[in-house]
Amino acid sequence: MTFFEPLPPDADPREPQPTGWAPPVWDRPSEAMLGAPVSMSALIVRTARLALAVNAVMAHPNGFTFALVYIGNPLEPRPPGGHGMLHPGVAGPGRGPRIGLEFADGTRTVDHSFRIVDGRVHRPEVPKDEDGVPTVPVLQPCGGGGGSHQFAMRYWCFPLPPPGPMDLHLEWAHMEIPETKVTLDGDAVRVAAERAVTIWAYEPGDA
Amino acid sequence: MPFFEPRPPLPDPEEARPTGWVPPLWDRPSEATLGAPVPLVELLATTDRLALVLGEVVAYPNGFTFTILIQGNPMAPRAPSRSGMLTGPGAMFRAPRVGFAFADGTLVREEYSTSLPKDERGIPTVAILRSQGGGGSDRRYELRYWCFPLPPPGAMDLYVEWADFDVPETKVMLDADAIITAAGDAVVLWEPDE
């Protein structure tokens, strides 16, 4: 008698089946669409040690993505054998940079990723309507990567901003960066979203 | 007796020394420069299974970076045991082939030779296209590239081909001037003599 149960037979790879995919409503951009780039970039802060910038803004019909880029100063003296900087988690759980958006209509949103509170994972609750769609703007990370000198963290914001400017706020106490904001053009994001392209059309029952 | 030798002590943070870093001339963008994004996205090819997309073009004074996004069709039927587009029995992931034709007739293909023709300063006298790695999943994958130098003014053609995934040789015309103009907006964050 073996410890593990026998594996089920491998499915026949020649028999593809529907994936059941449907376009996401709010939690991410559609994988079947090509977002439109927004001509937008801003240096948020620069210290002797690092710089933070926002770029790679992409507009989709149901929201937009952007990248928060961390750039380490390659000239900064460091101990022999020591690596460069940093990435969002270098300061420890809950000690990375805090970011948020403030829209022209007064609504605000902060990073809705989980936090460690008293040793427990805490994910902020988001109010939703009867269809399960948030009734407030949602900002959440959607991956990232990089090396010891540069790191990009991507964010997804639902929905598109209202008309007018929008402020991106950032604070990173661990790196001695006080609360700072840059003003971005929300209209540029809204206009760009109209240029998003459907790559594969969805019809209910297709997938 | 342990297998590993004892580690040397960690360096004292107080012993910080200059890194000796100098701005790269040609083999990569400067780590001390914030590149300027070029609002350019092109759908290069679409099949029932995947799409190839040019995106995230970023201009620097000495060249530009861009990504080739491989986006899987989320509706493409697949076998239950296979998770995404880049897997399958005996699947071998060979990257798409990418290249440029500049307005002055220069052809640029991926080049990793160590014997490039160079001038007296060690700078290649030919245009260079090199992979900078990539990442993703079997449903979405990004390949990043570096091209040295900036293109000459005028139209430039981007060529892509991925026969392994039924993408024939395809070209799209891009505006090199947009890349050149954006490069002027790159921000030097730190200078070596600061």
pLDDT in tens, A6-15: 877 766 656 7
Beta strands in chain B (DSSP E): 33-34, 36-38, 42-46, 50-60, 63-72, 97-101, 107-109, 128-136, 140-148, 155-162, 167-175, 187-188
From CA B161, how far away is CA B167, in angstroms rounded? Answer: 6
Interface residue A39 vs chain B (CB under 8 A): yes
Is B12 or A154 the better-scoring residue by pLDDT? Answer: A154
Interface residue A188 vs chain B (CB under 8 A): no
Amino acid at A98: R
Q: State mean pLDDT over B3-8.
A: 81
Most confident of A85-94, A97-106, B71-80: A97-106
Pick the residue from chain B with its C-alpha nearest to A203.
B75
From CA B40, how far away is CA A38, in angstroms rounded? Answer: 9
Q: List Cα–Cα distances, B91 to A19, A42, A61, in angstroms.
A: 20, 41, 35
Please tell me the predicted confidence (pLDDT) of residue A198: 97
Over 80: is that where the pLDDT of B92 sits?
no
Over 70: is that where the pLDDT of B44 sits?
yes
d(CA A31, nearest CA chain B) in Å: 6
Interface residue A55 vs chain B (CB under 8 A): yes
CB neighbour list of residue B106: distance below 8 Å, 6 or more residues apart: B100, B126, B127, B152
Helices and strands (DSSP H and E) totals, chain B: 1, 12
Q: Could you report the per-residue pLDDT of B174-193, keeping only the tens digit for each?
A: 999 999 999 999 999 999 87
- Of B56, B58, B75, Cβ closest to residue A21: B75
Interface residue A26 vs chain B (CB under 8 A): no
Exposure b/e, B6-41, CB count within 10 A at least 16 = b: eeeeeeeeeeeeeeebebbebeebbbbbbbbbbbbb
Strand A177-185's sheet: what is its strand order?
A108-110, A98-102, A165-172, A177-185
H or E stretch at A85: none
Please tell me the predicted confidence (pLDDT) of residue A123: 73
Of A111-125, A135-149, B59-73, minimum mean pLDDT range: A111-125
Cross-chain Cβ contact B16/A78 below 8 Å: yes
Q: How confident is the model at residue A101 (pLDDT cuts 50, 70, 90)?
A: very high
